[in-house]
Copies of this chain bind each other. A is one copy, B any other.
């Protein structure tokens, strides 16, 4: 059974190679999409090459809607996007992948049924297919080399869909198993280093000592140390002192 997550339906129009259908299923499921529709696949249905390629996402093929033509595929849809690489002589809104999936998310939140059309590998959608869509999606590729294949195009739309619904933060900090060091931890580390380095004659000449200490303190702060880092750095200094006191070299 497909998940009941609200989502657009991805419609592969007259796809040719089974491998590409399977790769498209994998690309969809990577981003949590599992409503595939296959319109008039060239090599019939089910397609063993598609099944072989889809490993791990084969369920999407088993549950795919099979339609004889595009009107049948779209009979339950209220808004349709067509992905096209080249401009058409048709008057239509043209969305970026981001803009399109943002609009799709809004429409779906309002209970609409949204489809995204992907054309056959060689030539893409025909104008007659595009004329059935409410809007066009164009991926901003290098004009000198626009060679996205079917599964790559599906992948980018899936990625943008997930970005729109998941609101991924642009940056977070992963702490591993660590905790951030507190101000007190850092102060103790600074004091430890200053004491030993003073003993060792590091802060020389005396008129530069304060400036050198400030640079050092700034380094620790800028690094944002964890407690484990602080322990490691204490250990480094203790060991240097131990080594010095052992008198060997």
Contacts and interface: CB of A to CB of B under 8 A. Distances in A.
Interface of A: 26-27, 29-32, 56-57, 87-96, 98-99, 102-103, 136, 139-142, 144-148, 152, 155-156, 159, 162-163, 166, 168-178, 226, 229
Given A98-B163, A155-B156, 7 more contacts: A30-B145, A30-B152, A90-B174, A94-B173, A95-B171, A96-B170, A98-B168
28 contacts: A26-B145, A30-B141, A30-B145, A30-B148, A32-B145, A87-B174, A90-B176, A91-B173, A91-B176, A91-B178, A92-B173, A93-B171, A93-B173, A94-B174, A96-B171, A98-B163, A98-B168, A98-B170, A99-B170, A99-B171, A102-B170, A103-B171, A139-B159, A140-B162, A152-B155, A155-B155, A156-B156, A156-B159
Given A26-B147, A147-B56, A155-B152, A169 B91 contact: no
Task: Tell me which of A91, A156, A177 has the highest count of chain B C-beta atoms within 10 A of its own C-beta.
Answer: A91
A140 to B, nearest CB: 5
A94 B142 contact: no
Contacts of A139: 159
A204 to B, nearest CB: 31
Contacts of A163: 96, 98, 140
A166 to B, nearest CB: 5
B145 A96 contact: no
A39 B164 CA distance: 35
A141 to B, nearest CB: 5
Contacts of A159: 139, 156, 159
A172 B93 contact: yes
Contacts of A30: 141-142, 145-148, 152
A79 to B, nearest CB: 14
Nearest to A94: B174
B145 A168 contact: no
A42 B135 CA distance: 45
